C-alpha cells in the first residue's frame, strides 16, 4: 500500500514542504510533468524547484514504453548520478512512467526484464504521484504498466507503489470531457470486474462497492463536471485501485490489452470499446454503461478492428489469452473451456 497520502483541494501548494525532508545533498528532485501542462503557469509556476531540480515534460501521445523508461533512467544517471526523488504530475501514463523510472534507477538492465510479477529486487528511489486525471487507480496500485518488445504488461511488485501520493481534485478540472469520461470508465470497469470476479474477497468488495457508488453518482446522475464530481472521481479512482490490488480485473481488460498491443488503442477508450460488447459476462454493468454513454453524449469509436489482418487478430488473441489471472478471475479455473481463440476472434470482429 502507499504509505503516505495527502488529500485536499489546493494541496498541490504543499508539495515543497512534503518533499523537503527527502532532499539529499547534491541530488536533485526530478519532475515528470505531462507535456499538456507546458506553459501553464497555473501549474508549472507552482512547482517547488530548488538547486539543480529539473522539470522534464513528457509527451503522452503513446502510453509508456520500456524503451522510454530505460532511456530516461540512463539520462538521469548520466546527468546527475543520483537523484533525491522523482515526482510525477499527470494521468495514468505519467504515474506509471514515474513509478517505473524510479524503480529502474536502482535496477540494472532493461525494464522489459521486470515485466511480470515480483521480479524487482529492491526499492526504487523516492517517488511521488500527483494525478491530474481520475480513474486508472495507477496512483495507488502495485503495478506500472509498460508496453515492451513482446507484451504490454506491468512491473508488478511490492516495491512498485509510490512512497507518497498527493490528491488534489482541482488538478483534474478542465481536462477534455471525452478523456475524463474514458479514464473514469476505466475506474467503473475496475469495479465491475473486481466485484464480479472469482477472486473477490471482503477487502476488495468494500473498496469496489464504494468506488462503484461514486462512479454512478457522477456518470448516472450528472452530465457535466463540477467540483463535487472531480472530488468523487478522485476518490473513486483510489478505491477502485485498492479493490483490484487485492483481487484482479477481468474480461474487458484482458481483451483490451490485446487490442492495445496491436493497435495502440489507449487504455480507457480501449476498455470502453470492449466493455460495450460484454453483456454476456457483465449484464448489469454493461446496461448501466450504455446509460452512461448516452447520458454524457459520448461517441464510442466503432469498427476499430475492421481492417485487421489475420496476423493482427492472432497477435491480439495471443496477448489477450496470455493474461491468465484476469481470465481466471473473470471465468474461474476452467476459463479456457469458456473463452477459446475462436470465440475471442468473433468478439474482436464485433468491435
Where on the chain is the footprint of ligand NAD (CB under 6 A)? 34, 36, 60, 63-64, 90-94, 96, 132-133, 135-138, 141, 143-145, 171-172, 174-175, 179, 183, 186, 266-268
Cα dihedral sign, 43-70-126-154: positive
CA distances from 299 to 66, 263, 266, 274, 296 (A): 32, 19, 15, 14, 9
Residue 110 interacting entry, from Zn ion, ligand NAD, none, C-beta within 5 to 8 Å by type:
none
| Residue placing its CB nearer to Zn ion in the complex, 139 or 186 | 186
CA distances from 208 to 23, 190, 214, 264 (A): 36, 8, 10, 28
Gap between the Cα atoms of 298 and 293, Å rounded: 5
What torsion, rounded to 10 degrees, do the Cα atoms 169, 175, 179, 183 define?
-10
CB of 342 to ligand NAD, least distance (A): 28
CB of 124 to ligand NAD, least distance (A): 15
| Residue placing its CB nearer to ligand NAD in the complex, 186 or 231 | 186
| Residue placing its CB nearer to Zn ion in the complex, 186 or 328 | 186
CB of 186 to Zn ion, least distance (A): 4
> Which residue has cell 453483456?
279
Residue 258 interacting entry, from Zn ion, ligand NAD, none, C-beta within 5 to 8 Å by type:
none
CB of 337 to Zn ion, least distance (A): 26
- Taking alpha carbons only, the member of 185, 235, 237, 179 closest to residue 9 is 235
CB of 133 to ligand NAD, least distance (A): 4
Gap between the Cα atoms of 347 and 351, Å rounded: 7
| Residue placing its CB nearer to Zn ion in the complex, 63 or 186 | 186
Q: Can you give the C-alpha Rg of the chain in angstroms?
A: 20
Residue 55 interacting entry, from Zn ion, ligand NAD, none, C-beta within 5 to 8 Å by type:
none
Start-to-end Cα distance in the chain: 36
Site string for Zn ion, 173-202 (x = CB under 5 A): -------------x----------------
139 binds Zn ion (CB under 5 A): no
Gap between the Cα atoms of 31 and 127, Å rounded: 10
Gap between the Cα atoms of 301 and 146, Å rounded: 24
CB of 272 to ligand NAD, least distance (A): 11
Binders of Zn ion among 44-83, rule CB under 5 A? none
| Residue placing its CB nearer to ligand NAD in the complex, 147 or 276 | 147
CB of 136 to Zn ion, least distance (A): 6
| Residue placing its CB nearer to ligand NAD in the complex, 28 or 219 | 219
Residue 144 interacting entry, from Zn ion, ligand NAD, none, C-beta within 5 to 8 Å by type:
ligand NAD
Long-range contacts of 332-338 (CB under 8 A, 24+ apart): 332/198
- Taking alpha carbons only, the member of 89, 100, 91 closest to residue 33 is 89
Gap between the Cα atoms of 277 and 270, Å rounded: 12
The binding site for Zn ion (CB under 5 A) comprises 186
Amino acid at each position: 500500500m502507499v504509505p503516505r497520502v495527502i488529500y485536499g483541494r489546493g494541496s498541490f501548494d504543499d508539495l515543497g514542504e512534503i518533499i523537503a525532508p527527502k532532499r539529499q545533498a547534491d541530488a536533485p528532485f526530478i519532475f515528470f510533468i505531462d507535456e499538456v501542462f507546458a506553459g501553464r503557469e497555473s501549474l508549472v509556476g507552482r512547482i517547488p524547484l530548488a538547486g539543480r531540480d529539473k522539470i522534464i515534460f513528457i509527451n503522452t501521445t503513446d502510453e509508456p514504453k520500456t524503451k522510454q523508461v530505460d532511456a530516461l533512467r540512463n539520462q538521469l544517471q548520466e546527468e546527475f548520478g543520483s537523484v533525491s526523488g522523482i515526482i510525477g504530475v499527470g494521468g495514468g501514463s505519467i504515474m506509471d512512467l514515474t513509478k517505473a523510472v524510479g524503480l529502474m534507477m536502482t535496477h540494472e538492465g532493461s525494464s522489459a526484464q521486470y515485466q511480470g510479477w515480483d521480479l524487482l529486487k529492491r526499492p526504487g528511489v523516492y517517488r511521488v504521484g500527483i494525478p491530474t486525471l481520475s480513474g486508472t487507480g495507477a496512483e495507488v496500485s502495485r503495478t506500472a504498466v509498460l508496453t515492451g518488445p513482446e507484451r504490454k504488461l506491468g512491473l508488478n511488485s511490492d516495491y512498485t507503489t509510490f512512497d507518497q501520493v498527493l490528491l488534489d481534485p482541482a488538478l483534474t478540472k478542465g481536462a477534455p470531457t471525452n478523456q475524463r469520461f474514458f479514464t473514469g470508465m476505466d475506474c467503473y470497469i475496475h469495479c465491475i470486474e473486481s466485484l464480479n470476479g472469482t477472486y473477490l474477497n471482503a477487502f476488495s468488495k468494500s473498496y469496489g462497492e464504494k468506488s462503484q457508488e461514486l462512479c454512478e453518482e457522477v456518470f448516472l446522475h450528472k452530465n457535466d463536471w463540477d467540483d463535487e464530481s472531480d472530488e468523487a472521481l478522485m476518490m473513486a479512482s483510489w478505491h477502485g485501485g485498492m479493490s483490484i490490488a487485492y483481487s484482479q480485473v477481468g474480461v474487458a481488460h484482458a481483451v483490451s490489452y490485446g487490442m492495445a498491443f496491436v493497435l495502440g488503442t489507449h487504455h480507457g477508450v480501449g476498455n470502453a470499446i470492449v466493455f460495450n460488447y460484454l453483456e454476456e459476462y457483465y449484464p448489469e454493468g454493461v446496461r448501466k454503461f450504455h446509460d452512461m454513454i448516452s447520458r454524457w453524449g459520448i461517441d464510442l469509436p466503432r469498427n476499430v478492428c475492421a481492417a485487421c489482418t489475420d496476423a493482427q487478430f492472432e497477435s491480439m488473441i495471443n496477448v489477450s489469452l496470455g493474461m491468465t489471472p484476469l481470465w481466471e478471475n473473470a471465468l474461474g479455473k476452467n476459463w479456457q473451456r469458456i473463452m477459446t481463440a475462436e470465440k475471442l476472434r468473433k468478439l474482436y470482429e464485433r468491435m
